[in-house]
Structure 1
Protein backbone atom coordinates (compact mmCIF):
# COMPACT_ATOMS: atom_id res chain seq x y z
CA UNK A 1 0.00 0.00 0.00
CA UNK A 2 1.82 3.11 -1.24
CA UNK A 3 0.00 5.48 1.15
CA UNK A 4 1.16 3.66 4.29
CA UNK A 5 4.10 5.07 6.26
CA UNK A 6 5.11 3.28 9.44
CA UNK A 7 6.77 6.36 10.98
CA UNK A 8 3.39 7.21 12.56
CA UNK A 9 3.29 3.83 14.32
CA UNK A 10 6.95 2.94 14.96
CA UNK A 11 7.62 1.58 18.42
CA UNK A 12 3.97 0.88 19.18
CA UNK A 13 2.80 -2.20 21.06
CA UNK A 14 2.39 -4.18 17.85
CA UNK A 15 6.04 -3.46 17.04
CA UNK A 16 7.04 -4.60 20.53
CA UNK A 17 5.22 -7.89 19.98
CA UNK A 18 6.57 -8.48 16.48
CA UNK A 19 10.13 -7.34 17.11
CA UNK A 20 10.57 -9.26 20.38
CA UNK A 21 9.62 -12.51 18.65
CA UNK A 22 11.69 -11.70 15.57
CA UNK A 23 14.78 -10.85 17.61
CA UNK A 24 14.49 -14.06 19.61
CA UNK A 25 14.12 -16.14 16.44
CA UNK A 26 17.13 -14.52 14.79
CA UNK A 27 19.18 -14.95 17.95
CA UNK A 28 18.38 -18.66 17.94
CA UNK A 29 19.32 -19.04 14.28
CA UNK A 30 22.70 -17.36 14.73
CA UNK A 31 23.72 -19.74 17.51
CA UNK A 32 24.76 -22.19 14.80
CA UNK A 33 27.87 -21.37 12.81
CA UNK A 34 26.00 -21.70 9.55
CA UNK A 35 24.92 -18.83 7.26
CA UNK A 36 21.25 -18.03 6.77
CA UNK A 37 18.89 -15.99 4.60
CA UNK A 38 16.60 -13.26 5.90
CA UNK A 39 13.79 -12.00 3.65
CA UNK A 40 11.32 -9.23 4.39
CA UNK A 41 8.39 -8.48 2.10
CA UNK A 42 7.30 -5.04 3.39
CA UNK A 43 10.30 -3.40 4.99
CA UNK A 44 9.41 0.25 5.58
CA UNK A 45 12.25 2.71 6.12
CA UNK A 46 14.18 0.58 8.57
CA UNK A 47 15.10 3.30 11.06
CA UNK A 48 12.72 5.70 12.82
CA UNK A 49 12.99 8.86 14.89
CA UNK A 50 10.59 8.71 17.83
CA UNK A 51 11.05 12.44 18.43
CA UNK A 52 9.86 13.16 14.89
CA UNK A 53 6.57 14.82 13.99
CA UNK A 54 4.96 11.58 12.82
CA UNK A 55 5.62 9.64 16.02
CA UNK A 56 4.70 12.61 18.18
CA UNK A 57 1.42 13.06 16.32
CA UNK A 58 0.09 9.62 17.24
CA UNK A 59 1.89 9.05 20.55
CA UNK A 60 1.95 5.32 19.87
CA UNK A 61 5.60 4.87 20.80
CA UNK A 62 4.96 6.57 24.14
CA UNK A 63 2.30 3.92 24.81
CA UNK A 64 4.50 1.19 23.33
CA UNK A 65 8.26 0.75 23.63
CA UNK A 66 8.59 3.57 26.17
CA UNK A 67 6.45 1.52 28.59
CA UNK A 68 7.34 -1.99 27.47
CA UNK A 69 11.14 -1.83 27.32
CA UNK A 70 11.35 -2.67 31.03
CA UNK A 71 9.76 -6.06 30.24
CA UNK A 72 13.02 -7.28 28.67
CA UNK A 73 16.27 -8.13 30.42
CA UNK A 74 19.47 -6.48 29.23
CA UNK A 75 20.58 -9.72 27.55
CA UNK A 76 17.36 -10.11 25.54
CA UNK A 77 18.24 -9.78 21.83
CA UNK A 78 15.48 -7.20 21.29
CA UNK A 79 16.83 -5.05 24.12
CA UNK A 80 20.38 -5.49 22.79
CA UNK A 81 19.32 -4.38 19.31
CA UNK A 82 17.59 -1.31 20.74
CA UNK A 83 20.69 -0.33 22.70
CA UNK A 84 23.02 -0.86 19.75
CA UNK A 85 20.91 1.41 17.54
CA UNK A 86 20.58 4.10 20.23
CA UNK A 87 24.32 4.08 20.82
CA UNK A 88 24.81 4.70 17.10
CA UNK A 89 21.91 7.02 16.26
CA UNK A 90 20.80 8.61 19.53
CA UNK A 91 18.25 7.92 22.29
CA UNK A 92 15.19 8.58 20.11
CA UNK A 93 16.15 6.11 17.37
CA UNK A 94 13.97 3.04 16.93
CA UNK A 95 14.95 0.12 14.67
CA UNK A 96 12.40 -1.38 12.35
CA UNK A 97 12.69 -5.07 11.57
CA UNK A 98 15.29 -4.61 8.76
CA UNK A 99 17.65 -2.82 11.14
CA UNK A 100 16.98 -5.33 13.92
CA UNK A 101 17.96 -8.06 11.44
CA UNK A 102 21.02 -6.10 10.31
CA UNK A 103 22.08 -5.66 13.95
CA UNK A 104 21.65 -9.30 14.97
CA UNK A 105 22.81 -11.07 11.83
CA UNK A 106 26.35 -11.65 10.54
CA UNK A 107 28.31 -10.75 7.42
CA UNK A 108 27.92 -14.33 6.20
CA UNK A 109 24.11 -14.05 6.30
CA UNK A 110 22.06 -12.84 3.33
CA UNK A 111 19.49 -10.04 3.83
CA UNK A 112 16.83 -9.28 1.19
CA UNK A 113 14.45 -6.35 1.78
CA UNK A 114 11.53 -5.24 -0.38
CA UNK A 115 9.84 -1.83 -0.19
CA UNK A 116 7.69 -0.24 -2.92
CA UNK A 117 6.91 3.20 -1.43
CA UNK A 118 9.44 5.56 -3.13
CA UNK A 119 10.10 7.69 -0.04
CA UNK A 120 10.34 4.70 2.28
CA UNK A 121 12.53 2.82 -0.20
CA UNK A 122 14.96 5.73 -0.38
CA UNK A 123 15.14 5.96 3.42
CA UNK A 124 15.58 2.19 3.69
CA UNK A 125 18.40 2.21 1.14
CA UNK A 126 20.15 4.93 3.15
CA UNK A 127 19.63 3.13 6.47
CA UNK A 128 21.08 -0.08 5.04
CA UNK A 129 23.86 1.54 2.98
CA UNK A 130 26.62 0.49 5.36
CA UNK A 131 25.49 -3.14 5.36
CA UNK A 132 25.61 -5.93 2.80
CA UNK A 133 21.80 -6.09 2.61
CA UNK A 134 20.08 -6.05 -0.78
CA UNK A 135 17.21 -3.55 -1.01
CA UNK A 136 14.60 -4.00 -3.75
CA UNK A 137 12.01 -1.58 -5.11
CA UNK A 138 9.72 -4.50 -5.82
CA UNK A 139 6.47 -6.05 -4.66
CA UNK A 140 7.40 -8.09 -1.61
CA UNK A 141 5.21 -11.06 -2.46
CA UNK A 142 6.77 -11.29 -5.93
CA UNK A 143 10.27 -10.94 -4.51
CA UNK A 144 9.71 -13.75 -2.04
CA UNK A 145 8.43 -16.06 -4.76
CA UNK A 146 11.43 -15.27 -6.95
CA UNK A 147 13.98 -15.82 -4.17
CA UNK A 148 12.60 -18.96 -2.58
CA UNK A 149 14.17 -21.31 -1.92
CA UNK A 150 16.96 -18.87 -1.09
CA UNK A 151 20.66 -19.52 -0.77
CA UNK A 152 21.48 -20.36 1.98
CA UNK A 153 18.36 -22.44 2.58
CA UNK A 154 18.41 -21.92 6.36
CA UNK A 155 16.56 -18.80 7.25
CA UNK A 156 13.49 -16.75 7.97
CA UNK A 157 10.99 -14.63 6.10
CA UNK A 158 8.95 -11.86 7.74
CA UNK A 159 5.69 -11.03 5.97
CA UNK A 160 4.32 -7.76 7.29
CA UNK A 161 2.03 -5.93 4.83
CA UNK A 162 0.04 -2.85 5.77
CA UNK A 163 -3.20 -4.87 5.55
CA UNK A 164 -4.86 -1.79 4.06
CA UNK A 165 -5.41 -3.87 0.93
CA UNK A 166 -8.23 -6.21 1.95
CA UNK A 167 -7.17 -8.80 -0.62
CA UNK A 168 -4.07 -9.44 1.51
CA UNK A 169 -6.17 -11.45 3.96
CA UNK A 170 -7.54 -13.68 1.21
CA UNK A 171 -4.25 -14.13 -0.65
CA UNK A 172 -2.09 -14.89 2.40
CA UNK A 173 -2.98 -18.60 2.94
CA UNK A 174 -2.37 -19.41 -0.74
CA UNK A 175 0.84 -17.39 -0.77
CA UNK A 176 2.13 -19.16 2.32
CA UNK A 177 1.19 -22.58 0.91
CA UNK A 178 3.08 -21.82 -2.30
CA UNK A 179 6.07 -20.45 -0.40
CA UNK A 180 6.41 -23.38 1.98
CA UNK A 181 6.05 -25.86 -0.86
CA UNK A 182 9.20 -24.39 -2.40
CA UNK A 183 10.98 -23.65 0.89
CA UNK A 184 9.90 -26.24 3.40
CA UNK A 185 12.71 -25.55 5.89
CA UNK A 186 12.25 -21.79 6.11
CA UNK A 187 10.80 -20.12 9.19
CA UNK A 188 7.78 -18.07 8.11
CA UNK A 189 6.60 -15.23 10.37
CA UNK A 190 3.40 -13.38 9.46
CA UNK A 191 2.36 -10.31 11.42
CA UNK A 192 -1.27 -9.20 11.33
CA UNK A 193 -3.37 -6.66 13.24
CA UNK A 194 -6.23 -7.56 15.57
CA UNK A 195 -8.97 -5.09 14.65
CA UNK A 196 -12.36 -4.32 16.12
CA UNK A 197 -13.63 -5.98 12.93
CA UNK A 198 -11.71 -9.30 13.13
CA UNK A 199 -10.84 -9.61 9.44
CA UNK A 200 -7.92 -11.90 10.24
CA UNK A 201 -9.94 -14.86 11.52
CA UNK A 202 -10.75 -16.62 8.19
CA UNK A 203 -7.11 -16.18 7.15
CA UNK A 204 -5.80 -17.76 10.35
CA UNK A 205 -8.27 -20.66 10.08
CA UNK A 206 -7.02 -21.35 6.56
CA UNK A 207 -3.36 -21.15 7.58
CA UNK A 208 -3.95 -23.52 10.50
CA UNK A 209 -5.81 -25.93 8.25
CA UNK A 210 -2.80 -26.14 5.95
CA UNK A 211 -0.23 -25.94 8.75
CA UNK A 212 -1.73 -27.37 11.95
CA UNK A 213 1.67 -27.17 13.67
CA UNK A 214 1.83 -23.37 13.24
CA UNK A 215 2.28 -21.20 16.33
CA UNK A 216 -0.50 -18.60 16.43
CA UNK A 217 0.21 -15.96 19.03
CA UNK A 218 -2.09 -13.01 19.70
CA UNK A 219 -1.90 -10.29 22.34
CA UNK A 220 -4.58 -7.71 23.16
CA UNK A 221 -3.89 -4.10 24.10
CA UNK A 222 -5.89 -0.89 24.51
CA UNK A 223 -6.54 1.19 21.39
CA UNK A 224 -3.90 3.89 20.91
CA UNK A 225 -6.58 6.57 20.90
CA UNK A 226 -10.34 6.88 20.84
CA UNK A 227 -11.80 5.29 17.74
CA UNK A 228 -8.55 3.49 16.82
CA UNK A 229 -9.45 0.12 15.28
CA UNK A 230 -6.36 -1.89 16.26
CA UNK A 231 -6.84 -3.60 19.62
CA UNK A 232 -4.16 -6.28 19.42
CA UNK A 233 -1.36 -7.89 17.48
CA UNK A 234 -0.98 -11.35 15.99
CA UNK A 235 1.86 -13.51 14.72
CA UNK A 236 1.51 -16.73 12.75
CA UNK A 237 4.78 -18.68 12.73
CA UNK A 238 5.56 -21.76 10.67
CA UNK A 239 8.54 -24.01 11.37
CA UNK A 240 8.67 -22.38 14.79
CA UNK A 241 12.25 -22.28 16.11
CA UNK A 242 13.11 -23.76 19.49
CA UNK A 243 12.33 -21.44 22.41
CA UNK A 244 9.93 -19.17 20.55
CA UNK A 245 6.82 -20.69 22.14
CA UNK A 246 8.29 -19.86 25.55
CA UNK A 247 9.00 -16.31 24.41
CA UNK A 248 5.38 -16.03 23.26
CA UNK A 249 4.11 -17.22 26.66
CA UNK A 250 6.27 -14.63 28.42
CA UNK A 251 4.92 -11.90 26.14
CA UNK A 252 1.35 -12.96 26.90
CA UNK A 253 2.00 -12.34 30.61
CA UNK A 254 3.62 -8.99 29.91
CA UNK A 255 0.78 -7.74 27.73
CA UNK A 256 -1.74 -8.79 30.38
CA UNK A 257 -0.08 -6.32 32.73
CA UNK A 258 -1.12 -3.35 30.56
Structure 2
Protein backbone atom coordinates (compact mmCIF):
# COMPACT_ATOMS: atom_id res chain seq x y z
CA UNK A 1 0.00 0.00 0.00
CA UNK A 2 2.99 2.32 0.47
CA UNK A 3 4.93 1.36 -2.63
CA UNK A 4 3.91 4.27 -4.86
CA UNK A 5 6.70 6.71 -5.76
CA UNK A 6 5.51 9.76 -7.69
CA UNK A 7 9.08 10.65 -8.73
CA UNK A 8 8.62 8.31 -11.71
CA UNK A 9 5.58 10.29 -12.90
CA UNK A 10 6.20 13.87 -11.76
CA UNK A 11 5.52 16.43 -14.45
CA UNK A 12 3.59 14.06 -16.69
CA UNK A 13 0.48 14.98 -18.64
CA UNK A 14 -1.77 14.17 -15.68
CA UNK A 15 0.30 16.40 -13.40
CA UNK A 16 0.05 19.19 -15.95
CA UNK A 17 -3.74 19.17 -15.82
CA UNK A 18 -3.90 18.82 -12.05
CA UNK A 19 -1.27 21.45 -11.28
CA UNK A 20 -2.52 23.96 -13.85
CA UNK A 21 -5.99 23.87 -12.30
CA UNK A 22 -4.65 23.86 -8.74
CA UNK A 23 -2.41 26.87 -9.40
CA UNK A 24 -5.29 28.72 -11.02
CA UNK A 25 -7.55 28.07 -8.03
CA UNK A 26 -4.92 29.15 -5.51
CA UNK A 27 -4.16 32.28 -7.50
CA UNK A 28 -7.87 33.13 -7.55
CA UNK A 29 -8.43 32.43 -3.86
CA UNK A 30 -5.39 34.36 -2.66
CA UNK A 31 -6.30 37.41 -4.74
CA UNK A 32 -8.88 38.29 -2.10
CA UNK A 33 -7.62 39.83 1.16
CA UNK A 34 -9.10 37.09 3.33
CA UNK A 35 -7.10 34.27 4.95
CA UNK A 36 -7.64 30.67 3.89
CA UNK A 37 -6.77 27.10 4.78
CA UNK A 38 -5.06 24.73 2.36
CA UNK A 39 -5.15 20.98 2.99
CA UNK A 40 -3.74 17.97 1.17
CA UNK A 41 -4.52 14.36 1.96
CA UNK A 42 -1.68 12.80 -0.08
CA UNK A 43 1.05 15.41 -0.33
CA UNK A 44 4.03 13.42 -1.64
CA UNK A 45 7.55 14.77 -1.31
CA UNK A 46 6.84 18.25 -2.61
CA UNK A 47 9.85 18.62 -4.93
CA UNK A 48 11.08 16.42 -7.78
CA UNK A 49 14.18 16.27 -9.99
CA UNK A 50 13.25 15.80 -13.65
CA UNK A 51 16.88 14.90 -14.39
CA UNK A 52 16.81 12.16 -11.76
CA UNK A 53 16.92 8.44 -12.61
CA UNK A 54 13.23 7.91 -11.84
CA UNK A 55 12.08 10.59 -14.26
CA UNK A 56 14.61 9.59 -16.89
CA UNK A 57 13.46 5.97 -16.68
CA UNK A 58 9.85 6.68 -17.63
CA UNK A 59 10.27 9.80 -19.78
CA UNK A 60 6.82 10.97 -18.67
CA UNK A 61 7.95 14.49 -17.80
CA UNK A 62 9.43 14.94 -21.30
CA UNK A 63 5.99 14.23 -22.75
CA UNK A 64 4.36 16.46 -20.15
CA UNK A 65 5.69 19.64 -18.57
CA UNK A 66 8.91 19.71 -20.61
CA UNK A 67 7.02 19.56 -23.89
CA UNK A 68 4.39 21.99 -22.63
CA UNK A 69 7.02 24.59 -21.78
CA UNK A 70 8.99 24.14 -25.01
CA UNK A 71 5.83 24.50 -27.12
CA UNK A 72 4.30 27.35 -25.04
CA UNK A 73 1.14 25.49 -24.14
CA UNK A 74 0.63 27.89 -21.24
CA UNK A 75 1.12 31.66 -21.33
CA UNK A 76 4.05 33.02 -19.34
CA UNK A 77 1.72 34.67 -16.86
CA UNK A 78 -0.22 31.48 -16.12
CA UNK A 79 -0.17 30.82 -12.36
CA UNK A 80 1.54 27.45 -12.84
CA UNK A 81 4.31 29.02 -14.93
CA UNK A 82 4.81 31.73 -12.32
CA UNK A 83 5.15 29.16 -9.54
CA UNK A 84 7.46 26.98 -11.62
CA UNK A 85 9.72 29.91 -12.50
CA UNK A 86 10.25 30.80 -8.85
CA UNK A 87 10.81 27.21 -7.75
CA UNK A 88 13.36 26.62 -10.51
CA UNK A 89 15.13 29.86 -9.58
CA UNK A 90 15.49 28.44 -6.08
CA UNK A 91 16.13 24.75 -6.81
CA UNK A 92 17.56 24.55 -10.33
CA UNK A 93 16.31 24.21 -13.91
CA UNK A 94 15.29 20.56 -13.56
CA UNK A 95 13.20 21.06 -10.42
CA UNK A 96 9.49 20.32 -10.58
CA UNK A 97 7.13 21.19 -7.73
CA UNK A 98 4.59 18.84 -6.33
CA UNK A 99 1.35 20.38 -5.18
CA UNK A 100 2.73 21.37 -1.73
CA UNK A 101 5.34 23.68 -3.25
CA UNK A 102 2.85 25.04 -5.75
CA UNK A 103 0.68 25.91 -2.77
CA UNK A 104 3.63 27.46 -0.92
CA UNK A 105 4.17 29.86 -3.80
CA UNK A 106 0.65 31.29 -3.43
CA UNK A 107 -0.02 31.05 0.29
CA UNK A 108 0.45 34.15 2.42
CA UNK A 109 1.59 34.50 6.03
CA UNK A 110 -2.00 34.73 7.24
CA UNK A 111 -2.98 31.48 5.53
CA UNK A 112 -2.92 28.04 7.17
CA UNK A 113 -1.75 24.77 5.57
CA UNK A 114 -1.95 21.10 6.56
CA UNK A 115 -0.18 18.39 4.55
CA UNK A 116 -0.60 14.66 5.17
CA UNK A 117 1.83 12.05 3.83
CA UNK A 118 1.99 8.52 5.23
CA UNK A 119 4.84 7.06 3.13
CA UNK A 120 7.94 7.29 5.39
CA UNK A 121 10.44 8.17 2.64
CA UNK A 122 8.12 10.69 1.03
CA UNK A 123 7.24 12.21 4.39
CA UNK A 124 10.92 12.66 5.26
CA UNK A 125 11.55 14.39 1.93
CA UNK A 126 8.47 16.56 2.44
CA UNK A 127 9.77 17.66 5.82
CA UNK A 128 12.76 19.24 4.06
CA UNK A 129 10.60 21.62 2.03
CA UNK A 130 7.30 21.74 3.91
CA UNK A 131 8.21 24.01 6.77
CA UNK A 132 5.48 26.47 5.80
CA UNK A 133 2.78 23.94 6.75
CA UNK A 134 1.64 21.64 9.52
CA UNK A 135 2.88 18.17 8.49
CA UNK A 136 0.94 15.03 9.38
CA UNK A 137 2.42 11.54 9.09
CA UNK A 138 -0.94 9.83 9.03
CA UNK A 139 -3.74 8.75 6.76
CA UNK A 140 -4.76 11.82 4.80
CA UNK A 141 -8.48 11.27 5.05
CA UNK A 142 -8.20 10.86 8.82
CA UNK A 143 -6.33 14.18 8.94
CA UNK A 144 -8.92 15.95 6.80
CA UNK A 145 -11.86 14.54 8.74
CA UNK A 146 -10.27 15.64 12.02
CA UNK A 147 -9.50 19.18 10.86
CA UNK A 148 -12.59 20.01 8.83
CA UNK A 149 -14.14 22.48 9.12
CA UNK A 150 -10.78 24.21 9.39
CA UNK A 151 -9.81 27.64 10.65
CA UNK A 152 -9.96 29.78 8.58
CA UNK A 153 -13.10 28.22 7.09
CA UNK A 154 -12.40 29.62 3.63
CA UNK A 155 -10.06 27.38 1.65
CA UNK A 156 -9.21 24.41 -0.52
CA UNK A 157 -8.68 20.69 0.02
CA UNK A 158 -6.77 18.67 -2.58
CA UNK A 159 -7.32 14.90 -2.60
CA UNK A 160 -4.78 13.14 -4.80
CA UNK A 161 -4.43 9.46 -3.78
CA UNK A 162 -2.15 6.95 -5.44
CA UNK A 163 -5.12 4.63 -6.08
CA UNK A 164 -2.89 1.66 -5.27
CA UNK A 165 -5.76 -0.04 -3.49
CA UNK A 166 -8.94 -0.64 -5.48
CA UNK A 167 -11.00 -0.10 -2.31
CA UNK A 168 -10.07 3.59 -2.53
CA UNK A 169 -12.49 4.00 -5.41
CA UNK A 170 -15.32 2.79 -3.19
CA UNK A 171 -14.25 4.75 -0.12
CA UNK A 172 -13.63 8.15 -1.75
CA UNK A 173 -17.29 9.12 -2.40
CA UNK A 174 -18.14 8.36 1.25
CA UNK A 175 -15.13 10.31 2.53
CA UNK A 176 -15.90 13.31 0.35
CA UNK A 177 -19.59 13.29 1.29
CA UNK A 178 -18.62 13.51 4.98
CA UNK A 179 -16.11 16.28 4.31
CA UNK A 180 -18.55 18.28 2.24
CA UNK A 181 -21.15 18.10 5.00
CA UNK A 182 -18.64 19.28 7.59
CA UNK A 183 -17.11 21.97 5.36
CA UNK A 184 -19.89 23.17 3.11
CA UNK A 185 -18.00 26.30 2.01
CA UNK A 186 -14.71 24.57 1.19
CA UNK A 187 -13.38 23.95 -2.30
CA UNK A 188 -12.84 20.17 -2.40
CA UNK A 189 -10.82 19.01 -5.41
CA UNK A 190 -10.31 15.34 -6.26
CA UNK A 191 -7.82 14.16 -8.89
CA UNK A 192 -8.30 10.71 -10.39
CA UNK A 193 -6.72 8.67 -13.20
CA UNK A 194 -8.67 7.51 -16.23
CA UNK A 195 -7.67 3.91 -16.85
CA UNK A 196 -8.46 1.59 -19.71
CA UNK A 197 -10.41 -0.71 -17.37
CA UNK A 198 -12.70 2.22 -16.43
CA UNK A 199 -12.50 1.43 -12.72
CA UNK A 200 -13.06 5.10 -11.94
CA UNK A 201 -16.55 5.17 -13.46
CA UNK A 202 -18.59 3.86 -10.48
CA UNK A 203 -16.73 6.28 -8.19
CA UNK A 204 -17.47 9.17 -10.50
CA UNK A 205 -21.14 8.23 -10.80
CA UNK A 206 -21.47 8.22 -7.00
CA UNK A 207 -19.70 11.57 -6.73
CA UNK A 208 -21.92 13.18 -9.35
CA UNK A 209 -25.03 11.81 -7.67
CA UNK A 210 -23.94 13.22 -4.30
CA UNK A 211 -22.66 16.54 -5.67
CA UNK A 212 -24.53 17.42 -8.88
CA UNK A 213 -23.29 21.02 -8.90
CA UNK A 214 -19.59 20.07 -8.86
CA UNK A 215 -17.26 20.78 -11.76
CA UNK A 216 -15.99 17.78 -13.72
CA UNK A 217 -13.01 18.20 -16.03
CA UNK A 218 -11.33 15.33 -17.88
CA UNK A 219 -8.47 15.18 -20.38
CA UNK A 220 -7.31 12.28 -22.52
CA UNK A 221 -3.80 11.50 -23.69
CA UNK A 222 -1.83 8.58 -25.16
CA UNK A 223 -0.47 5.98 -22.73
CA UNK A 224 3.03 6.75 -21.48
CA UNK A 225 4.29 3.48 -22.97
CA UNK A 226 2.78 0.41 -24.67
CA UNK A 227 0.44 -1.39 -22.33
CA UNK A 228 0.30 1.44 -19.78
CA UNK A 229 -3.23 1.65 -18.41
CA UNK A 230 -3.62 5.39 -17.79
CA UNK A 231 -5.07 7.24 -20.79
CA UNK A 232 -6.33 10.38 -19.11
CA UNK A 233 -7.01 12.16 -15.87
CA UNK A 234 -9.82 14.05 -14.22
CA UNK A 235 -10.55 16.71 -11.65
CA UNK A 236 -13.81 16.76 -9.68
CA UNK A 237 -14.25 20.05 -7.82
CA UNK A 238 -16.95 20.83 -5.28
CA UNK A 239 -17.63 24.55 -4.83
CA UNK A 240 -15.46 25.47 -7.83
CA UNK A 241 -14.23 29.08 -7.82
CA UNK A 242 -15.81 31.44 -10.31
CA UNK A 243 -14.12 31.10 -13.69
CA UNK A 244 -12.65 27.63 -13.10
CA UNK A 245 -14.93 26.08 -15.71
CA UNK A 246 -13.47 28.40 -18.36
CA UNK A 247 -9.93 27.59 -17.27
CA UNK A 248 -10.70 23.87 -17.34
CA UNK A 249 -11.91 24.19 -20.93
CA UNK A 250 -8.71 26.01 -21.90
CA UNK A 251 -6.58 23.29 -20.31
CA UNK A 252 -8.60 20.55 -21.95
CA UNK A 253 -8.07 22.14 -25.37
CA UNK A 254 -4.30 21.69 -24.94
CA UNK A 255 -4.78 17.93 -25.07
CA UNK A 256 -6.96 17.83 -28.17
CA UNK A 257 -4.12 17.20 -30.60
CA UNK A 258 -2.14 14.62 -28.62
The answer to whether TM tops 0.5 is yes
Q: Which runs of 5+ in 1 are unaligned?
A: none
Distance 1:105 1:71 in 2: 25
| C-alpha displacement of 1:254 | 0.6
Q: Which runs of 5+ in 2 are unaligned?
A: none
The match for 2:115 is 113
Name which of 98, 101, 112 aligns with 2:100. Answer: 98
SS at match of 2:165: coil
The match for 1:180 is 180
The match for 2:164 is 164
Which digits, 9 at most, give the CA deviation of each residue in 1:89-137, with x for residues without a partner?
00000000000000111111111000011100000000123x2x11110
RMSD of aligned alpha carbons: 0.7
Which digits, 9 at most, give the CA deviation of each residue in 1:46-94, with x for residues without a partner?
0000000000010000010011232111111000001010000000000
Give the TM-score normalised by structure 1.
0.98
The match for 2:82 is 80
Structure 1 residue ranges (4+ consecutive) displaced by more than 3 angstroms after TM superposition: none
Give the TM-score normalised by structure 2.
0.98
> Is 1:2 the counterpart of 2:5 in the alignment?
no
The match for 1:39 is 39
Distance 2:109 2:65 in 1: 28
| C-alpha displacement of 1:226 | 0.8
| C-alpha displacement of 1:21 | 0.3
Moved more, 66-75 or 50-59: 66-75
**Corresponding pairs, count:** 256
The match for 1:211 is 211
> Is 1:256 the counterpart of 2:230 in the alignment?
no
SS at match of 1:228: coil
